[in-house]
Amino acid sequence: MAFLQIDYKSEALMRGVNIKVILPSDGMAGKWEPPYKTLYLLPGYSATATELITYLGLRGQSELKGIAIVLPDGENLFYQDLPDRMTFYSTYVGKELVEVTRKMLPLSTKREDTFIGGISMGGYGALYNGFKYRDTFSKVVAFSPASDAYMLLAEEDAPGFSRKQFEGIFGSKEAYYGSECDMCTQWTRKDVDNRPELFLCCGKDDRLVYDEVEKLENALQKENITHEYRSGHGDHEFFYWEQMMDPAFSFLAGIEEGTKDKLLIPEQGE
């Protein structure tokens, strides 16, 4: 396993950025040959790439499943393009980051090997940009996603969020629902022949986004959209997301859950 930190000047964000990269090179799980399958993993609201690497077993999952993981730092803008602010975060994660990392690193350029995922706000970013850039991403994993930004940001009792903040990113409620930013509308569209495969999960104790995720899940079920959904007990916390690591990465790798879920150190002499 190799861990890299890369600094470069982003055209989409018009500033320097730092990204973290985990490569599944030689390690305890065996030898993976490049070019590597790749997951672009988006942090949640107020979170950073360092937090995800610190609290989740991403290095192990990379080595076990043979998947490179690219982690940008996020901003509290739901991974949207905001021309008025000269900030194009959707373009950054959905296009530029893929192109730049493919030039620098031994990553596969095939759609079937390229994935996007995220946690909480990053889960929304993965749903939004995975669908928007569906010619690039073949699979999406959304951990406890804020899948309805209006339900989250416009709730009067939601800590740290405000209606004014929602309107600064998405505009009015009327403009949001039914638009490409509305995940229930986008993911149930009938005019799509290259819809990414979807892994969706959220704990039943998650008071922050569970109702939003259930709303999306019900919409997908109603329209018979094929996807994988996991619930179970858990709050909006790293403990729950860690439990979902093996199921999600097994989904990405196309293997049965639990078949590669722990690193085994060879005995001396083997």
Range of the domain at 116: 2-253
Contact 193, 199 (CB under 8 A): no
User: What ranges in the chain are assigned the alpha helix state H?
Assistant: 49-55, 58-65, 89-91, 97-104, 121-132, 149-153, 163-170, 173-176, 183-187, 210-222, 238-243, 245-253
Asked whether residue 172 is assigned to any structural domain, the reply reads yes
d(CA 35, CA 25): 11
Contact 49, 73 (CB under 8 A): yes
Check residue 162 and give its pLDDT: 74
CATH at 44: 3.40.50.1820
Please report which confidence band the pLDDT of residue 153 belongs to, taking 50, 70 and 90 as the band edges: confident
Check residue 30 and give its pLDDT: 64
Residue of higher predicted confidence among 141 and 74:
141
Mention every residue, 6+ apart, whose C-beta is less than 8 A from residue 221: none
d(CA 141, CA 77): 19
d(CA 229, CA 245): 14
Check residue 156 and give its pLDDT: 55
d(CA 210, CA 215): 9
Nearest by Cα to 144 from 223, 257, 231, 252: 231
Mention every residue, 6+ apart, whose C-beta is less than 8 A from residue 224: none
Asked whether residue 265 is assigned to any structural domain, the reply reads no
Span 77-96, mean pLDDT? 94
d(CA 155, CA 153): 6
Asked whether residue 258 is assigned to any structural domain, the reply reads no
Residue 100 pLDDT greater than 70, yes or no: yes
Mention every residue, 6+ apart, whose C-beta is less than 8 A from residue 255: 65
Asked whether residue 269 is assigned to any structural domain, the reply reads no
Nearest by Cα to 122 from 236, 249, 33, 258: 236
Check residue 69 and give its pLDDT: 98
Question: What are 58-79's pLDDT values in tens digits?
Answer: 999 999 999 999 999 988 899 9
Span 29-34, mean pLDDT? 79
Residue of higher predicted confidence among 160 and 186:
186
Asked whether residue 20 is assigned to any structural domain, the reply reads yes
User: Which of 1-15, 75-89, 148-162, 254-268 has the lowest average pLDDT?
Assistant: 148-162
Asked whether residue 179 is assigned to any structural domain, the reply reads yes
When divided into structural domains, the chain yields a total of 1
Asked whether residue 270 is assigned to any structural domain, the reply reads no
Asked whether residue 264 is assigned to any structural domain, the reply reads no
75 is written with which tokens? 């901003």
